[in-house]
């Protein structure tokens, strides 16, 4: 068996076997050499990390061999397009790193990122098919983002993480402000995880009424969180955070349990409306989890109505369709939320089976002052009537809005005009005041 020389071992230690590029050790060596070279006159330079957006689903769908082929094509493109004197390495998995000795400031780093992003966005040839990918980038400039390799690399990773949070194909150059933003986000995440474990995230309920007479027909469950240190945290902040960090299922299960328990104290004819996230409509376990939660609490599935947005449906249409079908088969009703704000709402009404449509508040809030909004709402009501779909108008804040919707034939409404979101105990008090023959008993409150 031939002996491997010391030089050959060194080459193997610094080389990625799949792409032929250098690896993290090579990047470290190159950065340290550049810092040493510029010790007497420490001119800035930049390191960057690129992450392929959506690589894992393609790898899962077409197999690891196809994934390896894409990574090799990415490596080839990167070697061909990086500036003279620059180094590209395979960082790990679907991440690649760069050392850019002649990039001194933010604008130049962003320009390089735009150029590489364009190169990587062209289709990848897998023989019998082509696939497209985007890439997200994080850059860090020496010495402002760190003087040692590990610190500099951590700064680039922080910038990349911010890019990934903002969506596909984003470019971020590290700054102290971004570091503080990410630190606050991490602290918020930990506080929210602790709150979920401590059962400290609460549910409030907003009435949904029959417009013609103002009688309540159900309640929408809305998440509320007041932290001892942070104070009130808006659900517009913490719900997306739970989605991004991958624990929306735990949050949603807690909220649904609490909402269902509260609904047991309401008259049986009132329904509970609950929001599902896009992440949950991509998870095949969503329907069994929801139905198991209802079974444990003892709430009849026919009393539950799940609100989903068109954007959430389109994130993974096939999986969403199966989840919706499974839930509807169990008696759960499905409502299309924020109708009118998506890209192809009419197509969604054709392709999916819904029970109800909620007209977005953007139209409802201007119904008495803007003729276009009035006609849009009127058209939605007429269309839903023809499709045998119930309609709820969201965001009703004035009596004039309610009267206009009543005249247009809208059956249900929701908004501050009818009631603000309140906790479970206040909801029972609301029912005692507003629902016929309803009396709160000691047992119900307990």
Q: Which CATH number covers residue 72?
A: 3.30.70.270
Residues 170 and 191 in one domain: no
Q: Could you count the other beta carbons within 10 Å of the beta carbon of residue 388? A: 7
Last residue of a domain, one of 149, 174, 199: 174
The answer as to whether 35 is a domain residue is yes
Q: Does the pLDDT of residue 10 top 80, yes or no? A: no
Of the pLDDT bands very low, low, confident and very high (cuts 50, 70, 90), residue 439 is low
The answer as to whether 264 is a domain residue is yes
Characterize 143-164 residue by residue with b for buried, 16 or more Cβ atoms within 10 angstroms of its Cβ, and e for exposed: ebbbeebeebbbbbbbbbbbbb
pLDDT at 404: 92
Q: Give 174-232 pLDDT, tens digit per residue.
A: 998 888 888 888 899 999 999 999 999 999 999 999 999 999 999 999 999 999 888 99
Query: Above pLDDT 70, what percent of the chain?
Result: 91
Beta-carbon contacts of residue 356 (< 8 Å; ≥ 6 apart): 305, 333, 334, 335, 336, 389, 390, 391, 392
Residues 318 and 192 in one domain: yes
Residues 140 and 280 in one domain: no
Q: Give 253-265 pLDDT, tens digit per residue.
A: 999 999 999 999 9
Residues 398 and 312 in one domain: yes
Last residue of a domain, one of 130, 151, 174: 174
The answer as to whether 180 is a domain residue is no
**Alpha helices, H only, 299-360:** 310-315, 317-329, 345-351
Residues 118 and 242 in one domain: no
* Dihedral sign, Cα of residue 63, residue 69, residue 71, residue 77: negative
Last residue of a domain, one of 112, 142, 174: 174
The domain in which residue 123 lies consists of 6-174
Q: Does the pLDDT of residue 70 top 80, yes or no? A: yes
- Kindly compute the dihedral angle of the four CA atoms of residues 247, 195, 199, 216, in this order, to the nearest 10 degrees: -80
Q: What is the mean pLDDT of residues 151-159?
A: 93
Residues 396 and 333 in one domain: yes
Residues 190 and 258 in one domain: yes
Domain count along the chain: 2
The answer as to whether 259 is a domain residue is yes
Residues 134 and 68 in one domain: yes
Residue 192: enclosing H or E segment and its boundaries?
Answer: helix 176-197
Q: Give the mean pLDDT of the chain.
A: 88
Vertex 177: Cα angle to 173 and 182 (nearest 5) = 85
Q: Does the pLDDT of residue 77 top 50, yes or no? A: yes
For the CA atoms of the chain, what is the radius of gyration?
Answer: 27
Residues 205 and 241 in one domain: yes
Residues 283 and 163 in one domain: no
Residues 166 and 53 in one domain: yes
CATH number of the domain where residue 282 is located: 3.20.20.450
Of the pLDDT bands very low, low, confident and very high (cuts 50, 70, 90), residue 386 is confident
Q: Does the pLDDT of residue 135 top 90, yes or no? A: yes
Q: Does the pLDDT of residue 235 top 70, yes or no? A: yes
Residues 199 and 110 in one domain: no
The answer as to whether 1 is a domain residue is no
What gap in Å lies between CA 76 and CA 57, rounded to an integer? 22
């Amino acid at each position: 068996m031939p002996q491997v020389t010391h030089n050959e071992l060194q080459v193997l230690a610094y080389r990625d076997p799949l792409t032929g590029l250098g690896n993290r050790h090579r990047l470290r060596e190159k950065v340290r050499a550049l810092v040493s070279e510029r010790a007497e006159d420490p001119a800035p330079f930049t390191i960057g990390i690129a992450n392929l957006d959506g690589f894992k689903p393609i790898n899962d769908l077409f197999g690891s061999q196809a994934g390896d082929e894409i990574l090799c094509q990415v490596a080839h493109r990167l070697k061909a397009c990086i500036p003279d004197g620059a180094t590209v390495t395979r960082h790990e998995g679907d991440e690649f790193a760069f050392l850019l000795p002649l990039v001194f400031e933010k604008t130049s780093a962003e320009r390089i990122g735009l150029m590489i992003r364009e190169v990587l966005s062209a289709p990848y040839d897998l023989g019998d098919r082509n696939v497209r990918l985007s890439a997200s980038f994080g850059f860090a400039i020496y010495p402002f983002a760190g003087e040692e390799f590990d610190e500099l690399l951590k700064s680039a990773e922080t910038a990349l993480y911010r890019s990934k949070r903002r969506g596909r194909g984003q470019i971020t150059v590290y700054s102290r402000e971004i570091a503080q933003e990410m630190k606050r986000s991490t602290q918020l995440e930990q506080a929210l995880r602790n709150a979920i474990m401590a059962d400290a995230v609460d549910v409030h309920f907003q009435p949904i009424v029959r417009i013609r007479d103002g009688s309540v027909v159900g309640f929408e469950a809305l998440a509320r969180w007041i932290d001892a240190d942070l104070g009130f945290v808006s659900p517009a902040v913490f719900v997306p955070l739970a989605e991004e960090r991958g624990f929306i299922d735990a949050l949603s299960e807690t909220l649904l349990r609490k909402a269902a328990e509260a609904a047991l104290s309401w008259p049986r004819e009132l329904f509970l409306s609950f929001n599902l996230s896009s992440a949950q409509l991509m998870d095949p376990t969503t329907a069994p989890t929801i139905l198991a939660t209802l079974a444990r609490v003892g709430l009849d599935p026919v009393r539950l109505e799940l609100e989903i947005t068109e954007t959430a449906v389109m994130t993974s249409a096939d999986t969403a369709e199966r989840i919706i079908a499974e839930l509807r088969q169990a008696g759960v009703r499905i409502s299309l939320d924020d109708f009118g704000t998506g890209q192809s709402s009419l197509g969604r009404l054709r392709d999916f089976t819904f029970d109800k449509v909620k007209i977005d508040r953007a139209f409802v809030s201007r119904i008495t002052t803007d003729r276009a909004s009035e006609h849009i709402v009127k058209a939605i009501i007429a269309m839903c009537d023809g499709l045998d779909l119930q309609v709820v108008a969201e965001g009703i804040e004035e009596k004039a809005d309610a009267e206009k919707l009543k005249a247009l034939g809208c059956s249900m409404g929701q908004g501050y005009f009818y009631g603000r979101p309140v906790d479970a105990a206040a909801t029972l008090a609301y029912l005692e005041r507003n629902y016929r023959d309803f009396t709160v008993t000691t047992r119900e409150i307990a």
